[in-house]
Amino acid sequence: MENLNDTPLRRLEWWDIRRLESQGCTSADWENVFVAPDCDLSLIRNVRFSGRVRIGSLSRGPEGEWHGIENAVLYDCRIGDHVSIRNIGIAIRGYEIGNGATVENVGLMEYEAEAPCGVGRQVSVLDETGSRPVTIYPGLSAQLAVLMARKPRWGEEYMKPLLDSFLETRLSPGRIGEGAVVVNTGEIRNVFVDREVRVEGASRLSDGSVINNAAPGKCLAGIGPGVRAHRFIVEDGVVDGGATLEGAYVGQGARIDKGFTAHDSLFFANCTCENGEGCALFAGPYTTTMHKSTLLIGALTHFMNAGSGTNQSNHLYKMGPVHWGILERGVKTSSGSYVMWGAKIGAFSLLVGNHKMHPDSSDFPFSYLFGDERGGTIVVPGIMLRSSGLLRDEKKWPLRERRARRKLPLHDRINFEVLNPVTVGAMARALPLISELRKRPADDDRYVRYKGLKLRVSNLERASRFYTLGICKYLHLKTGGAPFPESHEDIAEEWIDLAGQFVERSCLERVMASESVEEMERLLTESHERYPELERRWIAIALREWRDRTSEIEVGAAEFDRMMEEDRRGYLDSLAEENAMLAL
């Protein structure tokens, strides 16, 4: 006895066969066609059956809407209840079609037994030669992905064996899920389409999965017109507007649109990528690039905004495309900016011009970086701290949270704060470094050099003030009106910005020593939930010298606010002048 969705099926009687044949249906062996007892055979027309085909209940909808199978070729398929399948150009082969699904105007749908549907594929992110592969799978978080990319030996020797067993229970089936819609699409091979997902107008999809974790009726995932994708997973994200993917993971709330092309790239929560190109790109949460002339290649980013014509080089013609670089949290690039990797750009910095000397400005967050005529990097440290745009950034990101109200499990853990243990820790470390650099004699061109950077002594003096005000503002936000936190520990934990989540080094070490993927995610989630508590402990130890400087903190925080307000007013005045100039 054949079953479908726990419903016993029956073989066709001779009169059923005659009826189907009268409706234009054919089969090499009618014995291999099974239907539900209440299947309305009048809704099956011009269908050719081959291999073992099972069909559930078919009936007209309560308001007369069409359900049925028409103008199709079915090979070894399982068809659920109340589906709509028609106008299949070549065939549907090997697929299971879920209850209430719609498949119309499709050229070919083919699933080969045990095809992985993109799960477990490796993406050669950062280094295109494949030395830093990230294994993609449903539920991949930005945090574990960045560990695989940044710790390739650990990823290969420790993480990959854990994933091999972990993924055995997460392989996507050859299925079009319940209530899914696949229409006006050219070719689909070995692609899992989850429940309620809509695939409309795609050109060609192969070896991939489109996954929906949202509550019923709140699906976020989808594929739009003209999309071509191979070796991919789209999980609660959208790929639309003729985009092309080759070896990619598109995470929750991410949107790839308007002809964007990506290969060997990862896109995590709430990324927006349009028009340009990503190659070996690790696009952490809130990475944004929207211009046709922009190429992000071999870059590790998050909360990044790319200006038009942003470009990067990872290929220096000696060892191949093995070079890569890091744009720390909140980096912005101006129009026409260029970086030759490797380089590391400090948090919340603005990158202007051409940079070819492999700069490392991670010791100086909130900076302007200008490229000189020879590709050197001139740094103005701390100057971004007076920008009112920082406050705008911190407020706008939560408002752009596409995952909200979808009732789905959030894979990527995100902290939005601009002033945090990572950036404030960097500013605190920068103060003695600035004192040391100010004592160095300048070169003939009046610059002090450090880690591929050129700094003027006058800018270093001003940076010391900006960083002090930034620390005061942070402490006022965290301790204003409350006792300064206390701790008996002597050494403060090092904090790391792990693709959007602030994590202590000791937590990271525990994660990397865990014996299962589930345990890794649990530890990261626990750290995320305990962040306020852990942050106060860090303040008590790392900023202990500020304990008795309450008045200085209040004065510094007030001056910081005034500096921000002056910048905001100055910008508004400038904008008013521009509007007056352009008035009709």
**Mean pLDDT within 407-427:** 96
Tokens of 296: 């992000």
Contact 194, 552 (CB under 8 A): no
pLDDT score recorded for residue 64: 65
pLDDT score recorded for residue 397: 93
Q: CB neighbours (10 Å) of residue 297?
A: 23
Domain ranges of the chain: 1-110, 111-342+388-413, 414-447+462-569
Give the least confident one: 276-285, 321-330, 383-392, 509-518: 383-392
Distance CA 175, CA 458 (A): 65
Helix, coil or strand: residue 446: coil
First vs last Cα of the chain: how many Å apart?
81
- Decide if pLDDT at 6 tops 70: no
Distance CA 235, CA 253 (A): 8
Residues 15-38 as b/e (b if ≥16 CB within 10 A, e otherwise) read ebbeebeeeebebeebebbbbbee
Q: Which amino acid does the sequence have at 525?
A: T
**Which strand ranges, in their side-by-side order, compose the sheet holding 338-340?**
311-313, 338-340, 354-355
Instruction: Give the residue from 406, 363, 446, 392 showing the smallest Cα distance to 221.
Output: 406
pLDDT cut 90: percent of the chain above it: 84
List strand residue ranges (DSSP E) for 138-254, in order: 175-176, 181-193, 198-200, 204-211, 222-223, 228-235, 238-239, 244-250
pLDDT score recorded for residue 39: 92
Contact 412, 500 (CB under 8 A): yes
**Mean pLDDT within 250-259:** 98
> Which secondary-structure segment (H or E) carries 400?
none
Q: CB neighbours (10 Å) of residue 328?
A: 23
Tokens of 349: 């910095």
- Decide if pLDDT at 63 tops 70: no
What band does 84 get if pLDDT is binned at 50, 70 and 90?
Answer: very high
Tokens of 146: 């960045």
pLDDT score recorded for residue 214: 96
Q: What is the largest CA-CA distance in the chain?
A: 100
pLDDT score recorded for residue 513: 96
pLDDT score recorded for residue 464: 96
**What are the tens digits of pLDDT across the range 272-316?**
999 999 999 999 999 999 999 999 999 999 999 999 999 999 877
Distance CA 562, CA 379 (A): 24
Distance CA 387, CA 368 (A): 11
Helices and strands counted in the chain (H then E): 11, 44
Q: Is the dihedral of CA 543, 549, 551, 556 positive or negative?
A: negative
pLDDT score recorded for residue 3: 66
**Mean pLDDT within 417-431:** 97
**What are the tens digits of pLDDT across the range 104-114?**
999 999 999 88
Q: CB neighbours (10 Å) of residue 399?
A: 7
Give the long-range contacts of residues 41-45, CB within 8 A, separation 24 or more.
41/16, 43/67, 43/68, 43/69, 43/70, 44/20, 44/68, 44/69, 44/70, 45/69, 45/70, 45/71
Distance CA 483, CA 486 (A): 9
Q: Which amino acid does the sequence have at 531?
A: Y
List strand residue ranges (DSSP E) for 460-507, in order: 495-498, 501-504
Which range, 361-375, 379-393, 485-499, has the best average confidence (pLDDT)?
A: 361-375
Q: What is the mean pLDDT of the chain?
A: 94
Distance CA 567, CA 281 (A): 34
pLDDT score recorded for residue 317: 67
Q: How many residues does the chain have?
A: 584
Got the DSSP string for 24-88? Answer: T-EES-GGGEEE-TT--GGGEEEEEEES-EEE------TTS---EEEEEEEES-EE-TT-EEEEE
Instruction: Give the residue from 247, 246, 267, 242 showing the smallest Cα distance to 255.
Output: 267
Distance of CA 359 to the CA centre of its chain: 26
Q: Is the dihedral of CA 503, 505, 510, 511 positive or negative?
A: positive
**Mean pLDDT within 358-371:** 97
β-pairing, 495-498 with 501-504?
Answer: antiparallel
Contact 260, 243 (CB under 8 A): yes
**What are the tens digits of pLDDT across the range 442-470?**
898 899 999 999 999 999 999 999 999 99
- Decide if pLDDT at 96 tops 80: yes
Q: Is the dihedral of CA 546, 550, 552, 555 positive or negative?
A: positive
**Mean pLDDT within 75-85:** 95
- Decide if pLDDT at 95 tops 70: yes
In DSSP terms, 255 is beta-bridged to 238, 272
**Mean pLDDT within 522-534:** 97
Distance CA 228, CA 244 (A): 5
- Decide if pLDDT at 403 tops 90: yes
Give the least confident one: 1-10, 25-34, 535-544, 570-579: 1-10
In DSSP terms, 450 is beta-bridged to 453
